[in-house]
Amino acid sequence: MPNEISTEQIKRVLCSGCTTHCGLLVKIKDGQIVSIKGDPSDPLTRGHICEKGMAAPKLLYHRERLKYPLKRTGERGEGKWTRISWKQAIDEIAKKIEEIKRKYGPEAIALIHGSSPRYAEYIQRRFMNLLGSPNVFSSASQVCWDNTAIIECITYGWMAYGDIEHTQCIVEWGSNPACSHLPRWRSILKAKKRGAKLIVIDPRLTKTAAKADIWLQIRPGTDCALALGWLNVIINEELYDKDFVKNWTIGFEKLKERVQEYPPEKVSEITHIPAEKIRESARIYATTKPAIISWGVSLDHIGKNASQAIRARAILRAITGNLDVRGGEILCGLHPRIISETEIEENEKLSKEQKEKLLGTKRFKLLSWNLYDQINKYAKKVGYRAAIPSYSLVNAHTPTVWRAIITGEPYPVKAVICQDSNPLLTCANTKLVYRAIKELELFVVHDIFMTPTAMLADYALPAVTWLERSHMDHGVAGNYVKTGEKVIEPMWECRTDFDFLRELGIKLGQEWPWKNLEELYEYRLKPLGYSWKDFVTKIRWDVPPFEYKRYEKRGFATPSGKVEIYSTILEKLGYDPLPKYEEPAESPISASEKSKKHSLVLITGGRLKCFHHSEGRQIDMLRKIHPEPLVQIHPKTAEKLGIKDGDWVWIETHLGKIKQKTKVDPGVPLNIVHAEHGWWFPEKPGEEPTLYGLWESNINVIIDDNPDKCDPMIGS
15 binds ligand SF4 (CB under 6 A): yes
Using CB under 6 A, which of the segments 19-27, 124-132, 293-301, 632-640 binds ligand SF4? Answer: 19-27
Backbone dihedral region of 324: left (phi > 0), alpha (psi from -120 to 50 degrees) or beta?
left
Using CB under 6 A, which of the segments 13-21, 362-370, 533-541, 623-631 binds ligand SF4? Answer: 13-21
CA angle 409, 413, 416 (to 5 degrees): 150
Using CB under 6 A, which of the segments 47-55, 209-217, 273-281, 415-423 binds ligand SF4? Answer: 47-55
| DSSP symbol at 495 | B
Using CB under 6 A, which of the segments 43-51, 86-94, 402-410, 645-653 binds ligand SF4? Answer: 43-51
18 binds ligand SF4 (CB under 6 A): yes
Write out the DSSP string of 600-643. Answer: SEEEE---BTTBSTTTTTT-HHHHHHS-S-EEEE-HHHHHHHT-
Using CB under 6 A, which of the segments 44-52, 79-87, 403-411, 565-573 binds ligand SF4? Answer: 44-52
Nearer to ligand SF4 among residue 17 and residue 389 (C-beta) = 17
Nearer to ligand SF4 among residue 52 and residue 113 (C-beta) = 52
Nearer to ligand SF4 among residue 48 and residue 677 (C-beta) = 48
Taking CB under 6 A as the criterion, the residue among 26, 36, 44, 49 binding ligand SF4 is 49
**Whether the Cβ atoms of residue 144 and residue 115 lie closer than 8 Å to each other:** yes
Distance CA 680, CA 292 (A): 37
The mark string for 474-513 relative to ligand SF4 (x by CB under 6 A, - otherwise) is ----------------------------------------
Min separation Cβ 646 and ligand SF4, Å: 28
21 binds ligand SF4 (CB under 6 A): yes
Min separation Cβ 18 and ligand SF4, Å: 3
* Pairing verdict, β 8-14 and 23-29: antiparallel
CA angle 121, 125, 128 (to 5 degrees): 140
Exposed/middle/buried for residue 192 (C-beta within 10 Å: 0-12, 13-18, 19+):
middle
Min separation Cβ 681 and ligand SF4, Å: 22
Min separation Cβ 611 and ligand SF4, Å: 10
CA angle 111, 364, 437 (to 5 degrees): 30
Distance CA 624, CA 350 (A): 47
Using CB under 6 A, which of the segments 49-57, 646-654, 678-686, 692-700 binds ligand SF4? Answer: 49-57
How many chain residues interact with ligand SF4 (CB under 6 A)?
12
53 binds ligand SF4 (CB under 6 A): yes
Nearer to ligand SF4 among residue 19 and residue 706 (C-beta) = 19
Least Cα distance to 405 among 104, 125, 146, 140 occurs for 104
Taking CB under 6 A as the criterion, the residue among 11, 12, 13, 22 binding ligand SF4 is 22
**E strands in 76-175:** 81-83, 109-113, 136-138, 161-162, 169-173
Taking CB under 6 A as the criterion, the residue among 17, 296, 328, 682 binding ligand SF4 is 17
52 binds ligand SF4 (CB under 6 A): yes
Taking CB under 6 A as the criterion, the residue among 26, 28, 44, 50 binding ligand SF4 is 50
Min separation Cβ 20 and ligand SF4, Å: 4
**Whether the Cβ atoms of residue 436 and residue 428 lie closer than 8 Å to each other:** no
Distance CA 716, CA 713 (A): 8
Which alpha helices (DSSP H) does 24-85 contain, by range? Answer: 51-54, 56-60
Distance CA 266, CA 125 (A): 45
Distance CA 186, CA 667 (A): 23
Using CB under 6 A, which of the segments 46-54, 449-457, 514-522, 585-593 binds ligand SF4? Answer: 46-54
Nearer to ligand SF4 among residue 81 and residue 541 (C-beta) = 541
Nearer to ligand SF4 among residue 275 and residue 543 (C-beta) = 543
Min separation Cβ 6 and ligand SF4, Å: 28
Distance CA 229, CA 698 (A): 36
Distances from the Cα of 58 to the Cαs of 33, 177, 629, in angstroms?
A: 10, 25, 21
Q: Give the H/E segment covering residue 96.
A: helix 86-104
Nearer to ligand SF4 among residue 54 and residue 286 (C-beta) = 54
Taking CB under 6 A as the criterion, the residue among 11, 20, 106, 361 binding ligand SF4 is 20
Using CB under 6 A, which of the segments 50-58, 86-94, 223-231, 253-261 binds ligand SF4? Answer: 50-58
Residue environment code for 350-372, b if the CB has 16+ CB neighbours within 10 A, otherwise e:
beeebbebbbbbeebbbbbbebb
Q: Which residues bind ligand SF4 (CB under 6 A)?
A: 15, 17-18, 20-22, 48-50, 52-53, 182
